[in-house]
């Protein structure tokens, strides 16, 4: 069963308090008992000492009066009241005892008797039928020539001690119950107070949805744990808001991009339907329509590619790909079109480099980069390709002497649908998706794609991908 934090906090608090109170109570009663015992032992020891002086004559004889009680009364007065006294002979037989013992006899165990024989004094708690337990001192009387001649036993009832301890126990149990009840109530209240900000955060977070992602949680004390939690949640909402915006923007751009060719297509069709021109005109209209369809097809294909890559990222094929081979293939593919547009395309260096990944996607990456370079380089320009190995990475550079990209545009060229010159690129057929696909491919292979450019002079794209060996080591 799951309990709330508040319940658990209160439970632990109360449990801890109860355990410490009980611990304290046990320690306290034990100490008190020890103190009582200490005092009692002192008392019976001094009575026992006096008894030894009373019964032992200077001649070494044991003197036992007829009326033991009278003697006790006379010698010790009030002090013996409550003490039980008993004198035994050397064999353990009872010689005399105080009348308050009535018919009973203070027992002596084998061990105690042997200890006395050896001259040792014993203290013990003894129980006698129908009476309270007693604390008893057993002290031998030893003469140098004769050895042990008698044993003096003095006892005191534990009744008083037990009574005090019992009353203390009842008071203490009552106090613990009261303390636990009070502590539960206070703990419950304090836990609620401490957890109030969490409840507030929960309520606030519940209110934030897709429509009001711009809202943030209020943070009362930013430095404490709750404050940090709230700012972490705020950061998360911010990231969500950003990706939500990106998705919205992407959808809007995609619809817009597809709408343009559709509008043109519709226009062409309407003109053709009106049938004013001859068959030549109709041919033109169909040709133009086909171009728009191609364009839409191209955009949709690229969009699908991007969507697929977003999903595929984890499940990318991991084959060994010779990047130099891919580069040569792409170079061969573009040789003719480059020649046609008067651009000199060349491979400067092509080092053998094996990377781990998807050969089709890597081919697409190089294709898009070379395609751009050729596309955005005017007649007479150069496009140079190179593949090097630099600190565990395969580095492909596509360098052109084309139109270049201004510093204001450079940060955005990898964004989806971003094109520098909207009007011009439409003629060249770009949708602004090529570079975002390239970036996605490079990153899904654990690499990077960067651009450096000087407007009017040319651009260099650098893709760095980890070598297959480096991936295996990592």
Ligand X SMILES: Nc1ncnc2c1ncn2[C@@H]1O[C@H](COP(=O)(O)OP(=O)(O)OP(=O)(O)O)[C@@H](O)[C@H]1O
> Looking at beta carbons only, is 72 or 449 nearer to ligand X?
449
> Looking at beta carbons only, is 191 or 405 nearer to ligand X?
405
Sign of the torsion angle spanned by Cα atoms 336, 340, 341, 347: positive
Please report, as residue ranges, which positions from 297 to 326 form the binding site for ligand X (by CB under 6 A).
Answer: 302
> Looking at beta carbons only, is 197 or 404 nearer to ligand X?
404
As measured in angstroms, the least distance from the Cβ of 398 to Mg ion is 11
Count CB neighbours of 443 within 10 A: 13
Query: How far apart are the C-alpha atoms of 303 and 416, rounded to whole Å?
Result: 9
As measured in angstroms, the least distance from the Cβ of 388 to Mg ion is 24
Chain CA centroid to CA 121, Å: 63
Q: Which does 289 bind (CB under 5 to 8 A by kind): Mg ion, ligand X, none?
A: none
Instruction: Tokens for 240, please give them.
Output: 């969500």
Check if the beta carbon of residue 370 is closer than 8 Å to that of residue 330. Answer: yes
As measured in angstroms, the least distance from the Cβ of 297 to Mg ion is 16
Please report, as residue ranges, which positions from 435 to 474 form the binding site for ligand X (by CB under 6 A).
Answer: 435-436, 459
Q: Which does 303 bind (CB under 5 to 8 A by kind): Mg ion, ligand X, none?
A: none
Q: What is the dihedral of CA 307, 310, 316, 321, to 10 degrees?
A: 80
Please report, as residue ranges, which positions from 94 to 113 form the binding site for ligand X (by CB under 6 A).
Answer: none
**Side-chain half-sphere exposure of 299, counting CA atoms within 13 A:** 24
Check if the beta carbon of residue 306 is closer than 8 Å to that of residue 416. Answer: yes
As measured in angstroms, the least distance from the Cβ of 303 to ligand X is 10
Q: Which does 390 bind (CB under 5 to 8 A by kind): ligand X, Mg ion, none?
A: none
- Interaction mask 392-431, ligand X, x per CB under 6 A: --------x-xxxx-------x----xxxx---x----xx
Residues in touch with Mg ion (CB under 5 A): 372, 434
> Looking at beta carbons only, is 6 or 439 nearer to ligand X?
439
Number of chain positions touching ligand X (CB under 6 A): 24
- Interaction mask 359-378, ligand X, x per CB under 6 A: ---------x---xx--x--
> Looking at beta carbons only, is 423 or 472 nearer to ligand X?
423
> Looking at beta carbons only, is 122 or 302 nearer to Mg ion?
302
Which backbone phi and psi does 210 adopt, to 5 degrees? -60, -30
As measured in angstroms, the least distance from the Cβ of 344 to ligand X is 15
Instruction: Tokens for 370, please give them.
Output: 């070379």
**Strand 94-97 relative to strand 393-400: parallel, antiparallel, unpaired?**
unpaired
In the list 197, 357, 432, 447, the residue contacting ligand X (rule: CB under 6 A) is 432
Give residue for tokens 């990231």: 239
Calculate helix-pair angle for 323-340, 359-375, nearest 10 degrees.
Answer: 30
Count CB neighbours of 41 within 10 A: 14
């Amino acid at each position: 069963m799951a309990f709330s934090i508040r319940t658990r906090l209160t439970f632990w608090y109360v449990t801890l308090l109860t355990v410490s109170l009980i611990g304290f109570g046990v320690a306290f009663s034990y100490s008190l008992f020890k103190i009582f015992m200490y005092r009692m032992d002192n008392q019976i020891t001094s009575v026992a000492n006096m008894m030894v002086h009373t019964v032992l004559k200077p001649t070494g004889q044991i003197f036992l009066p007829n009326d033991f009680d009278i003697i006790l009364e006379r010698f010790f007065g009030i002090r013996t009241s409550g003490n039980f006294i008993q004198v035994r002979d050397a064999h353990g037989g009872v010689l005399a005892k105080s009348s308050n013992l009535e018919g009973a006899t203070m027992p002596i165990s084998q061990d105690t008797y042997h200890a006395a024989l050896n001259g040792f004094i014993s203290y013990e708690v003894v129980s006698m039928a129908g009476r309270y337990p007693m604390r008893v001192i057993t002290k031998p009387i030893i003469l140098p020539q004769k050895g042990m001649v008698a044993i003096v036993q003095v006892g005191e009832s534990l009744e008083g001690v037990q009574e005090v301890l019992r009353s203390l126990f009842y008071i203490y149990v009552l106090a613990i119950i009261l303390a636990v009840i009070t502590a539960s109530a206070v703990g419950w209240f304090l836990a609620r107070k401490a957890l109030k900000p969490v409840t507030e955060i929960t309520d606030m977070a519940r209110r934030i949805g897709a429509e009001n992602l711009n809202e943030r949680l209020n943070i009362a004390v930013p430095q404490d744990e709750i404050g940090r939690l709230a700012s972490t949640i705020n950061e998360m909402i911010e990231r969500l808001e950003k990706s939500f915006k990106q998705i919205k923007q992407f959808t809007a751009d995609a619809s817009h991009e597809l709408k343009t060719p559709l509008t043109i297509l519709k226009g062409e069709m309407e003109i053709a339907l009106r049938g004013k021109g001859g068959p030549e005109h109709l041919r033109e209209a169909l040709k133009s329509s086909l171009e728009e369809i191609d364009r839409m097809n191209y955009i949709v294909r690229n969009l699908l590619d991007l969507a697929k890559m977003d999903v595929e990222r984890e499940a990318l094929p991991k084959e060994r790909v010779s990047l130099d081979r891919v580069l040569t293939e792409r170079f061969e593919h573009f040789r003719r079109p480059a020649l046609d547009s008067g651009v000199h395309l060349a491979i400067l260096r092509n080092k053998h480099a094996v990377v781990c990944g998807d050969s089709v996607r890597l081919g697409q990456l190089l294709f898009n980069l070379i395609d751009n370079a050729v596309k955005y380089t005017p007649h007479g320009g150069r496009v140079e390709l190179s593949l090097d190995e630099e600190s565990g990475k395969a580095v492909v550079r596509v360098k052109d002497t084309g139109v270049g990209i201004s510093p204001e545009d450079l940060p955005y060229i990898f964004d989806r649908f971003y094109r520098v010159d909207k009007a011009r690129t439409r003629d060249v057929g770009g949708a602004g998706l090529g570079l975002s696909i390239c970036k996605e491919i490079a990153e899904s292979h654990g690499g990077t794609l960067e651009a450096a450019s000087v407007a009017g002079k040319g651009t260099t794209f650098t893709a760095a991908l980890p070598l297959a060996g480096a991936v295996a080591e990592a």
